[in-house]
Amino acid sequence: MIDINIVREKPEIIKKSLKKRQMDPSVVDQLAGLDEKWRAVLTETEVLKAERNKVSKEISKTKDKTERNQKIAEMRVVGEKIAALDAKVKEIETSLNNLIAIIPNILDDSVPLGKDETENKVVRQVGEKPTYDFKPLPHWELGPNLGIIDFEQGVKITGSRFYVLSGAGAQLQRALIAWMLDLHRRQGYLEKYTPFMVKGQTLFASGQLPKFADNLYRDHEEDLWMVPTAEVPLTGIHMNDFLEYEKLPQRYTAYTPCFRREKMSAGRDVRGIKRGHQFDKVEMYIYSKPKESMLELEKMLSDAEQTCKELGLTHRVVQLCTGDMGFNSAISYDVEVWAPGCDEWLEVSSVSNVTGFQARRANIKYKDENGHKDFVHTLNGSGLGMPRTLISVMETYQQPDGSIRVPDVLKPWMGGVEIIDNEKK
């Protein structure tokens, strides 16, 4: 959530950011108008309450019955006005909060201008695209041929955009998750195992509600929602907490399945398992001192890249332009891996500095070395996301006979399996 003080004192900063995002900046004027109205009504209410308190003290000291009754009658009218104004304050406050909740984070000045994802900036590529003396197969052929991916079973069980991993395919995905969690622990993150369902309040705190309500799955009988990413419960861990300055930064990692309706991506990436309603992801999350959050962003990006490097995957880093930035983000980088069978780059991580945007919604504060209270900065990034990491591993390590060689770092989790051969045999 943006700081209301910026709306009051420097609204042009928010307007400039919204224009970069190709959004209507007039919402800032609407917000300023509501805020001015709210403060005016609140002031009027406080004046009347002060008057009532003053007269109430006078009433207790008034001995003349007629005079006392008159003051009581006058205060009854004042009380009715206060009740009406209190209701008006709450009404305006609700409208104010609803409006400010849909305004995205203010972009960092370093974010490159661009209309959409086609104008994102490639920062670097690490490794060359692998070459083969045979035509590499895409995973939607490779997996079924080996009997490790079954699309028909997924559709039979649930419907489109679901699939079943079998045998060494399921084992390979589990190995990736376990290895990545262990890697992030070595990188300095504390592993968390969090609920896969959260309250609506937690989703609001993380910036998912109300903006992305249509893209989430929920239990309509209770206020429980399936997590779209571990970022949500990792934000919720410290809702309404006061973090100790000396203990910042606090770095967490967690695995969760993720559930998204994917309404905003209808028709995209429909082949194979690139995009589904359910997928697994290992998340990195950092609570940082504001003045150190950009350094923490560099660390998180480096940690995501190390994951790709140790897996032996060709990857590149892409800085998102203004027209492709997420709602919460002030600055973001995507990490993409090369999938030789699909013949395309696949995003496996988006690393973002969210500044104080989530912390303000979640009321997560700290006290600096001078005793000043402020909101912490939060950062998040996939480390990495499935199934695209799985896709790249399968397609990168495929052999001429259609088998898949297991990357060295994953072998300890594969129970002695070094080559994934035909599970149908």
pLDDT, residue 424, reads 54
Within 8 A by CB and 6+ apart from 66, the residues are: none
How far is 98 from 96, CA to CA, in rounded Å? Answer: 6
pLDDT, residue 220, reads 87
What is the chain's Cα-based Rg?
27
Q: Helices 168-186 & 388-396, crossing angle to 10 degrees?
A: 110
Amino acid, single-letter form, for residue 332: S
pLDDT in tens, 355-387: 999 999 999 999 988 889 999 999 999 999 999
How far is 272 from 388, CA to CA, in rounded Å? Answer: 10
pLDDT, residue 304, reads 98
Report the candidate in 395, 389, 315, 312 with the shortest Cα–Cα distance to residue 135: 395
DSSP string, 129-151: PP--SS-PPPHHHHHHHHTSEEH
Q: To the nearest 5 percent, what fractions of the chain are helix, strand and coil?
A: 45, 20, 35
pLDDT, residue 271, reads 81
The two tokens of residue 423 are: 């599970």
How far is 195 from 224, CA to CA, in rounded Å? Answer: 11
pLDDT, residue 253, reads 98
Ranges of the chain whose pLDDT falls below 50: 425
The answer to whether residues 314 and 129 touch, using CB atoms and an 8 Å cutoff, is: yes
How far is 215 from 206, CA to CA, in rounded Å? Answer: 15
DSSP 8-state secondary structure symbol assigned to residue 398:
B
pLDDT, residue 267, reads 55
User: Token pair 């009754």 is at which residue?
Assistant: 69
pLDDT, residue 265, reads 53
pLDDT, residue 64, reads 87
Report the candidate in 350, 322, 323, 325 with the shortest Cα–Cα distance to residue 336: 350
